[in-house]
Chain A
């Protein structure tokens, strides 16, 4: 009897563990897999594979608009998506038009240009194979305008070069002249607005990636209103897996998201353990109260 009471007290103590201990355990669950480079490769799910196949099906020279609708706060989730899609597009010889509905987006596009496009694709040229048009305010109003007249809002690229002097802007009068819109979003305006104001009314294929927080709200648009969706870091890791499966040369460099899936596994196990512990102690306490 005495032993049983001691055991129950111990479980109760565990159930009332200080929240700072929980934070510390969670921190270690994320830190240790990063230090030991524990990675997991996740095969592409149909919704991600469909996105990959859409890009794969485009002929060389096809026009892909990438909208950087996020900022540094969600870069750990969104930037690997941008990296993978850019590699895929330039590998296929597609032309990339970079814009942003968020003021923080151009900095992320610049990071991509400096760290991926220039070092990995030195033969591609600014204005010929890719162009960075920068940020414009307006959200869905901006998309609405771009659908009717692209040059009404984008008169220059980020360097101030007139769009009339940019070779790859020839023939781009509206969003309807593009072959694919790929939005990397983390809120509003983002993926939803691109579907509502460009994809649906203009009958333009829209796909993209989003933070995990936003993903459940966007899945209902698949497959009729969006060609595919990368949901959070897992979606990014799945796209990396699809890219490596098709282009094995990216095996070593295209694993940014995959490397961060290791901490996801351990952190989720810790969370599940704490949820179970909390519920067990709750049930034990309730039973004791009823007995008393």
Chain B
């Protein structure tokens, strides 16, 4: 009980001091900030690597090929027969690591080609369906919706016109095969306003996100410093 309490206290102190080191950059760049920054990058990389190894490589590859040796780490592997098909991802994984060798790094291109080919093949169809076809369906809808009140209908029609008008004008702004003059130019100009409104909304949300994170850190510091004096 005492040991776990001590470990938690040490953890709080380390986290608190590292937070202050990072905040010190707001005054000016300094060695404490640099230390905390490098430590963060190193620990993050090591954490992802260790978790990836034990949660994916061990149960999904090593335990499939050598189940009898993995019983201590993956209980479900006990009594299972080796699955020889998993030699293929093992070979591709080794090829990927060839990138570290200056003479044999071209081998990694085979594995990379497989990864890119798989990603392009699966992503292409999904992006076309979810981000293109479905988005067109969602953007251009019938103007009249049944069951709404008079005011509801006015608001509904207004918002649909804004969406379609905004979408078309933003697309016109990016159409460069025709000179932006006359009615076409005015539509392109409206497109700029639509884009600015979208960027403004995105910026506003980004500000909210950053303040949320600052609030989280401040909340932690209050608990840490409050804990010292209680």
Contacts and interface: CB of A to CB of B under 8 A. Distances in A.
Contacts of A122: none
Interface residues of B, number: 46
What's the dominant secondary structure at chain B's contact region?
helix
A263 B52 contact: no
A211 B210 CA distance: 10
Interface in A222-265: 224-225, 231-234, 260, 263-264
Interface in A165-210: 195-197, 200-201
Contacts of A35: 222
B177 interface: no
B215 A34 contact: yes
Interface stretch (A87-95, A152-160, A276-284): A152-160
B21 to A, nearest CB: 16
B201 interface: yes
Nearest to A29: B211
B59 A135 contact: no
A233 B208 contact: yes
B212 A76 contact: yes
Given A156-B76, A264-B208, A264-B212, A103 B52 contact: yes
A87 to B, nearest CB: 20
Nearest to A72: B216
B208 to A, nearest CB: 4
Given A160-B75, A212-B209, A200 B218 contact: no
B138 A225 contact: yes
A197 B126 contact: yes
A285 B215 CA distance: 35
Interface stretch (A9-17, A49-57, A213-221): A213-221
A69 interface: no
B9 interface: no
Contacts of B209: 74, 77, 211-213, 232-233
Interface stretch (A39-47, A60-68, A110-118, A136-144): A136-144
B122 A144 contact: yes
Interface residues of A, number: 56
A161 interface: yes
Given A144-B122, A160-B74, A196-B127, A232 B215 contact: no
Given A76-B213, A263-B218, A267-B211, A162 B56 contact: no
Interface string B193-230: 00000100110011111011111111100100000000
B175 interface: no
B161 to A, nearest CB: 17
A134 B134 contact: no
B76 A264 contact: no
Given A30-B215, A136-B60, A162-B76, A20 B198 contact: no
Nearest to A74: B213
Given A153-B60, A196-B126, A268 B211 contact: yes
Given A34-B218, A196-B126, A213 B135 contact: no
Contacts of B206: 212-213
B129 A134 contact: no
A234 B212 CA distance: 9
A146 to B, nearest CB: 13
Which of A35, A231, A260 has the most chain B CB atoms closer than 10 A to its own CB? Answer: A260
A201 B127 CA distance: 11
Contacts of A231: 205
Nearest to B201: A216
Nearest to B206: A213
Interface centre among A155, A224, A264 (most CB of B within 10 A): A155
A215 B219 CA distance: 24
Given A212-B212, A213-B205, A271-B207, A34 B219 contact: yes
B222 A34 contact: yes
Interface of B: 26-27, 47-48, 51-52, 55-56, 59-60, 73-76, 118-119, 122-123, 126-127, 129-131, 134-135, 137-139, 198, 201-202, 205-209, 211-219, 222
21 contacts: A23-B26, A34-B219, A75-B216, A76-B215, A103-B51, A103-B52, A103-B55, A137-B56, A153-B60, A156-B59, A163-B76, A164-B76, A200-B126, A213-B205, A213-B206, A216-B201, A232-B209, A260-B219, A263-B214, A264-B211, A271-B207
Given A201-B129, A216-B205, A268-B211, 13 more contacts: A27-B218, A76-B215, A104-B51, A134-B55, A135-B55, A137-B52, A140-B119, A212-B205, A213-B205, A232-B205, A232-B208, A263-B211, A264-B212
Q: Which 8 pairs from chain A and chain B are nearest by CB?
A: A76-B216, A212-B209, A162-B76, A103-B51, A212-B205, A196-B130, A233-B212, A212-B208
